[in-house]
Structure 1
């Protein structure tokens, strides 16, 4: 009988590939591509381009699927965007931006190399396994309905997009099950120490009042102490959320197995490192 798959291997693999996809949220190529179709505002470009696979959805749908951003920010950003550009055109702009970004940041010799083709094949197999389980994952399912690109570097990018949204939708389910609203989720993320609370608060444009209310709520639940640090109960609760997320995200990686997960991490790591250079912009 085969040994059970360790979900933390899936987390490691997702993290190793994350910059390869995530650079699209910071790269200048994205802003240029969105501006070319009429979307000049940075946050509108982010919300609309990421949600465009779902169609001309309302701000409330974006609030629900993105979870932790200031609601007024989303409403301002999404106001009238679908009168400016169609979702189909914005999806196409995003793919063009990803292609240009990867071509700039990854060595040209790697783009159609045997290593890139192998990485694309493995990642696509994992993503296709995720496509067998779309239930309860709206943002993932919308992206899974898009056509696959042809070139290996773009197959890899789209595969990681699917794997990212598959994990993300599951993570939101874990947060809902833990009875955390969007700002409370951010506060626990900050308390965990992976990302400074100040950066989380600013990037999601949460107000001082929202942050204070979320902190007080978590203190009342016994998750945070008087200084806003985790209590043991809070630390365990956050760990449980991450464990649940790992478990719900494991199936695509289990489908390719430990050895191919390790191979994929090794193949993509230098390209992810190159793509991560845009995060400091």
Structure 2
């Protein structure tokens, strides 16, 4: 029986995550979405929710979790009149291929080995869709023919699998989407202005949520308290545990190998500027 630890599984996910995460920042994506008549955040919300079909604002608010509802409603108000789910999904895959080719990911000799392990983990995740709506929707999409896009699709599945588990953990701990953003910002790993702009919560709601977290002794000033750090660690640890059904199929050795193979992939994404925040 294969065994693995959350540490090795998390490392495998984290090192390969840039392969998926770049789609939210690259100009190829915004250009493709604009060509379809989408503006602002409409391309993001439609492209990520398109596996549901013509996803309602309420469904996106529920599954994306930490975006201001007003932003979601405004972004989706006319979006599905401009595009079909099939059109925006095609645009997303084309943008992913263009960006990853720009970073010369296809030239890495480890592509096939990395794809084999990542796809095995993703297919294992597909055996456990219960309670993971955003992941389950993505799991219905066909695998692309291009190995490079297969790798992107595999990591997309693994990211949404983990993400649904993360949302479940936040709910269980009574942490709202806005509070999760503030706790994240308090770690210092993501700039607060970026989270405020991209999630679009009104300043008064952000401040009120901060005050609530201070009352609960989770933040002091702009940083986490001892209790806040403990809660954040618990949430991350629990998220790691809930992601294990995907990575247990690889075992410890497979996870360590995937983490090793993934390193140059993440480095190329970063070096090519695919994660730059414009």
Structure 1 residue 107 displacement after superposition: 5.1
| 1:22 aligned partner | 21
Structure 1 residue 193 displacement after superposition: 2.3
| 2:217 aligned partner | 222
How has the CA–CA distance of structure 1 residues 12 and 217 changed in structure 2, closer, same or farther, with 3 Å as cutoff?
Answer: same
TM-score (structure 2 length as normaliser):
0.94
Are the aligned partners of 2:12 and 2:262 in contact in 1 as well (CA < 8 Å)?
A: no
Are the aligned partners of 2:19 and 2:155 in contact in 1 as well (CA < 8 Å)?
A: yes
Secondary structure of residue in 2 paired with 1:33 = helix
| 2:36 aligned partner | 37
| 1:96 aligned partner | 94
Please list, as runs of the form range in 1=range in 2, the aligned pairs for 1:70-149 lying within 5 A after superposition: 70-106=68-104, 109-110=107-108, 113=109, 115-149=110-144
In the TM superposition, structure 1's runs of 4+ consecutive aligned residues that sit over 4 Å from their partners are: none
Please list, as runs of the form range in 1=range in 2, the aligned pairs for 1:1-281 lying within 5 A after superposition: 4-39=3-38, 41-106=39-104, 109-110=107-108, 113=109, 115-225=110-220, 227-276=221-270, 277-280=273-276, 281=278
How has the CA–CA distance of structure 1 residues 92 and 209 changed in structure 2, closer, same or farther, with 3 Å as cutoff?
Answer: same
Structure 1 residue 98 displacement after superposition: 0.9
Structure 1 residue 24 displacement after superposition: 0.8
How has the CA–CA distance of structure 1 residues 102 and 229 changed in structure 2, closer, same or farther, with 3 Å as cutoff?
Answer: closer
Structure 1 residue 228 displacement after superposition: 4.1
**C-alpha RMSD of matched pairs (Å):** 1.6
Q: Of the two structures, which has the highest relative contact order with CA contacts closer than 8 Å and spacing of 6 or more?
A: 2
The alignment covers a number of residue pairs equal to 275
Structure 1 residue 47 displacement after superposition: 0.9
Distance in 2 separating the partners of 1:123 and 1:174: 24
The Cα offsets for residues 81-130 of structure 1, whole Å up to 9 and x where unpaired, read as 111111111111111111111111125533xx4x2111111111000000
Are the aligned partners of 1:219 and 1:228 in contact in 2 as well (CA < 8 Å)?
A: no
Secondary structure of residue in 2 paired with 1:278 = coil
TM-score (structure 1 length as normaliser):
0.93
Distance in 1 separating the partners of 2:105 and 2:241: 35
* Structure 2 runs not aligned, ≥5 long: none
How has the CA–CA distance of structure 1 residues 278 and 90 changed in structure 2, closer, same or farther, with 3 Å as cutoff?
Answer: same
* Structure 1 runs not aligned, ≥5 long: none
The Cα offsets for residues 119-150 of structure 1, whole Å up to 9 and x where unpaired, read as 11111100000001001111100110000011
Structure 1 residue 253 displacement after superposition: 1.2
How has the CA–CA distance of structure 1 residues 224 and 107 changed in structure 2, closer, same or farther, with 3 Å as cutoff?
Answer: closer
Distance in 1 separating the partners of 2:155 and 2:105: 19
